Structures are given as C-alpha cells and as structure tokens.
Chains A and B, each alone.
Chain A
Amino acid sequence: DTAVSQTPKYLVTQMGNDKSIKCEQNLGHDTMYWYKQDSKKFLKIMFSYNNKELIINETVPNRFSPKSPDKAHLNLHINSLELGDSAVYFCASSQGEPNTEAFFGQGTRLTVV
C-alpha cells in the first residue's frame, strides 16, 4: 500500500493549459508539501500545509495554487502553463515535531510543449 501517492506520474501538455496534480497520503501525517525538482535535480520547496492550513508559501508564481480538502490530500493546480514549468513535482508528508523526516511520493514529470 503506497504511503504517499501522486497522480498522474507523467503529464504532457501544451503551453497555456491548466492542469492539476493530485496527492494523497495514508500515513496519518498532519503536514504535506510540494517540491519542484528541476532538470539539474535541484529540489526546492514550493508549499507546505499543516492540517489543511497553508504554512509555507515560497516565491512561487501565483499561477500555482495548492488546495488541501483534508489533511490526507494536497493537490496542486497550475494555470496558464509555461515552458519553464517543466519539471518533476514531488509531494511529501511528515508528522510531528521536532524535525521529523518527510516521506515522498514517486513524483509527477510535467512536460510543457
């Protein structure tokens, strides 16, 4: 049973389209994250939610909007996709403080053409 699952695994779309990536965790964690991994493998935090509340919002274009319907789900919606949005997006979750590790999904490879 997958702990953190993302769908879809691959997403190819045209510039200007709107797309969503879904994430679900069955670990009972209270904090979820979205990370972006660029072509050089660099990982950067985008958003973090704790019990459905946004707690971290890094410098991300407002075309990206996270939504957390409950603490087990954190979806990422992207409007007006651009070529530079092409990357691998990872969802992750963690529980408790202080300083516990995060568990990652398998990633969604987004390609904008």
Chain B
Amino acid sequence: GNSVTQMEGPVTLSEEAFLTINCTYTATGYPSLFWYVQYPGEGLQLLLKATKADDKGSNKGFEATYRKETTSFHLEKGSVQVSDSAVYFCALKEAGTALIFGKGTTLSVSS
C-alpha cells in the first residue's frame, strides 16, 4: 500500500539556519504530494503542494520539488525563523483516497 516516510526529529536549529526535512514515498499510482504544518495546539495547515513530477511547491520561503525518480519530496527553507517552530507533515494523496501522512518532524528554532 501507499506510505510516506519522513526523517525522525526533533530537528533543532538556530535562527537563519538552512532547513531540510527529508520525505520519501511509496505509491501504486500517481499521487499528489503535500507538506502540512501544525503549530502547537492548532490544526493542520497546508504549507505547499505539488501535483505531478518535477513540480515545485513553494510558500512562505519553504520549497519542495516532486522527484519521481527518487520518490522524494524534501522540504527546504533557506533561513528559518523562531516562528517556524512547529511539526511538519509530509503527505500523499491519490484520486479517491484520503491523505496519508508521514509521522511528522518536530522543528525547534532558537534565537
């Protein structure tokens, strides 16, 4: 079946550091890929998405590129801020199915 694997956290960075959170997936068809963010005590918010191979999703300085050859969708940001501290979830979805999430990666950014 379909699945998503994310790097284990927590990830601890200083402000303005470069961020990478790795995500790989297994899918039987042609999924869309997503990154969601969950701030403490809140629900999940869509951060970015990509619907086909080689698409790049971007939002708020975060980027991720849909790489079909490596079945990956790594999240990157050039310079993190304290306000980026949250839990980040990689997810995939195929037509007619629900979102399948990775286990989440906790990011902690200190000033």
What is the interface of chain A, defined by CB distance below 8 A to chain B?
4, 33, 40-45, 48, 55-56, 90, 92, 97-107
Min C-beta distance of B91 to chain A, whole Å: 8
State whether B45 touches A45 (Cβ < 8 A): no
With A99-B32, A105-B43: A45-B98 Cβ-Cβ less than 8 Å: yes
B42 proximal to A (CB < 8 A): yes
Among candidates A40, A43, A98, residue contacting B95 with C-beta atoms closer than 8 Å: A98
Q: Interface code B5-44, partner A: CB below 8 Å = 1, 0 otherwise?
A: 0000000000000000000000000011010101000111
B109 within 8 A of A: no
Known contacts A90-B43, A104-B44, A107-B43; A41/B93 CB under 8 A:
no
- When C-beta atoms are compared, the residue in chain A nearest to B105 turns out to be A41
Residues 30-66 of B, flagged 1 when their CB comes within 8 A of A and 0 if not, give: 0110101010001111100101000000000000000
| Cα separation A102 to B91 with both chains bound (whole Å) | 11
14 A-B pairs with CB atoms under 8 Å apart are: A4-B43, A41-B38, A43-B89, A45-B99, A92-B99, A97-B96, A99-B32, A99-B51, A100-B93, A101-B32, A102-B98, A103-B46, A104-B43, A107-B42
**Quick check: A45 and B100 within 8 Å, CB to CB?**
yes
Tell me whether B103 and A56 are in contact (CB under 8 A): no
* Contact-residue bracket for chain B: 20 to 34
A92 to B46, CA, bound (A): 12
Taken residue by residue from 71 to 111, chain B's Cβ proximity to chain A (1 for < 8 Å, 0 otherwise) reads as 00000000000000001010001111111110110100000
- Which residue in chain A gives the minimum CB-CB distance to B95? A98
Residues in A whose Cβ lies below 8 Å from that of B104: 41-43
- Contact in complex: B103, A42 (CB < 8 Å): yes
Closest to A56 in B: B98
Question: Chain B residues with Cβ under 8 A from A100's Cβ?
Answer: 32, 93
